[in-house]
């Protein structure tokens, strides 16, 4: 039940653009968990993909120097840490990673306590495991579900469309359980317009909007040109309503925040 936490801190949600459910610009307490079940070529948290045995780094007050808390942390310890960071501008608690859905028993316990305390839960997931999504969906307020572009390489040597199908199934699960849900597609300079159209076509059958996010440059992964990005937006809007498609940027990164 206890889980290795990487960090708990305060910042603003940078992603999501203007689509329904987006919390872009909202102040959140972030709980970052370790571990992931896929491997994206441009992962910006590659240091979190396995257990570390290191203590969690936890803010005592918003923006303060983080102190070390022994891992694994209990659900109650995590909730207490979140409560210590709640201020008038608090919007929600963002669970991120790594991949939070690798920790379902822990999440169920934490989400249940947060729900009783009326603190909204925002969950960021790679969507790879619809069964895990189903186990927590009733306790989630907002779900940001990744759809991995082919150029992320997250499908490994398997069929990319099978991974996308699982991700869309996860998004549908959250939506059906009443979560505000949106899909996030990180695109690169090598992303194919027809792949964006393919993803948008699947989402069009689900009423889940799409945030298209240029990759933050890492290694060989470079963001698309404006011209390419415009073609992606057009490909998406041929299948989805205009208000269901938005550009998303990692605003916190640009502002120099965690
Ligand atoms: S799903 Fe997220 S945490 Fe996992 S490898 Fe991809 S970018 Fe990294």
Q: Is 180 within 8 Å of 20 (Cβ atoms)?
A: yes
pLDDT of residue 197: 98
Ligand 1 atom closest to Cα of 98? Answer: 3
Query: CA 221, CA 187: separation in Å to the nearest integer?
Result: 9
Query: CA 1, CA 104: separation in Å to the nearest integer?
Result: 9
User: What 3-state DSSP class applies to 248?
Assistant: coil
- Check whether 133 has a pLDDT greater than 90: yes
Q: Which residue has the tokens 């694994």?
A: 72
Q: What percent of the chain has pLDDT over 90?
A: 90
**219 or 8: whose pLDDT is higher?**
8
Strands (E), 64-119: 66-69, 90-96
What is the average per-residue pLDDT within 79-105? 97
Distance 38 CA to ligand 1 centre (A): 6
**Which helix (DSSP H) or strand (DSSP E) does residue 84 occupy?**
helix 75-84
pLDDT of residue 258: 84
CB within 6 Å of ligand 1 — which residues?
36, 38-40, 43, 45, 97-99, 126, 154
Residue to probe by mutation, ligand 1, list 96, 97, 163, 183, most atoms within 8 Å of CB: 97
User: pLDDT by residue (tens digit) across 54-64?
Assistant: 999 999 999 99
Distance 116 CA to ligand 1 centre (A): 30
Query: What residue's CA is closest to ligand 1, atom 6?
Result: 40
Q: Is 181 within 8 Å of 21 (Cβ atoms)?
A: yes
pLDDT of residue 254: 82
User: pLDDT by residue (tens digit) across 187-197?
Assistant: 999 999 999 99
Burial letters for 118-147: b for 16+ Cβ neighbours within 10 Å, e otherwise? Answer: ebbbbbbbbbbbbebbbebbebbbbbbbbb
Distances (CA, A) of 46 to 40, 123, 159, 170, 218: 9, 19, 23, 23, 11
pLDDT confidence bin for 70, thresholds 50/70/90: very high
Distance 162 CA to ligand 1 centre (A): 17
Query: CA 98, CA 187: separation in Å to the nearest integer?
Result: 19
Q: Is the pTM of this model over 0.85?
A: yes
User: pLDDT by residue (tens digit) across 4-63?
Assistant: 999 999 999 999 999 999 999 999 999 999 999 999 998 988 888 877 889 999 999 999
What's the fold here for domain 5-254?
TIM Barrel (3.20.20)
pLDDT of residue 250: 86
Torsion, CA 146, CA 37, CA 32, CA 208, rounded to 10: 20
């Amino acid at each position: 039940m206890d889980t290795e936490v990487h960090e708990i801190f305060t910042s603003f949600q940078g992603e999501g653009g203007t689509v329904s459910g987006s919390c872009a610009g909202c102040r959140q307490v972030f709980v970052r968990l370790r571990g992931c079940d896929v491997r994206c070529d441009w992962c910006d948290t590659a240091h979190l993909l396995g257990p570390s045995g290191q203590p969690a780094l936890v803010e005592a007050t918003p923006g303060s120097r983080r102190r070390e808390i022994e891992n694994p942390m209990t659900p109650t310890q995590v909730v207490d840490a979140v409560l210590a960071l709640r201020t008038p501008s608090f919007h929600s608690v963002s669970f991120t990673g790594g991949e939070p859905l690798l920790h379902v028993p822990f999440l169920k316990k934490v989400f249940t306590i947060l729900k009783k305390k009326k603190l909204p839960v925002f969950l960021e997931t790679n969507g790879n495991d619809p069964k895990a999504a189903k186990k927590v969906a009733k306790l989630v307020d907002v779900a940001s579900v990744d759809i991995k572009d082919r150029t992320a390489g997250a499908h490994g040597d398997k069929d990319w469309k099978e991974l996308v199908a699982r991700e869309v199934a996860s998004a549908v699960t959250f939506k059906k359980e009443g979560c505000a849900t949106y899909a996030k597609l990180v695109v690169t300079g090598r992303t194919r317009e027809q792949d964006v159209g393919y993803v948008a076509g699947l989402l069009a059958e689900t009423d889940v909007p799409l945030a298209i996010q240029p990759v933050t440059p890492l290694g060989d992964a470079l963001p698309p040109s404006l011209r390419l990005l415009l073609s992606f937006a057009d490909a998406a809007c041929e299948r989805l309503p205009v208000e269901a498609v938005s550009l998303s940027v990692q605003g916190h990164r640009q502002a120099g925040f965690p």
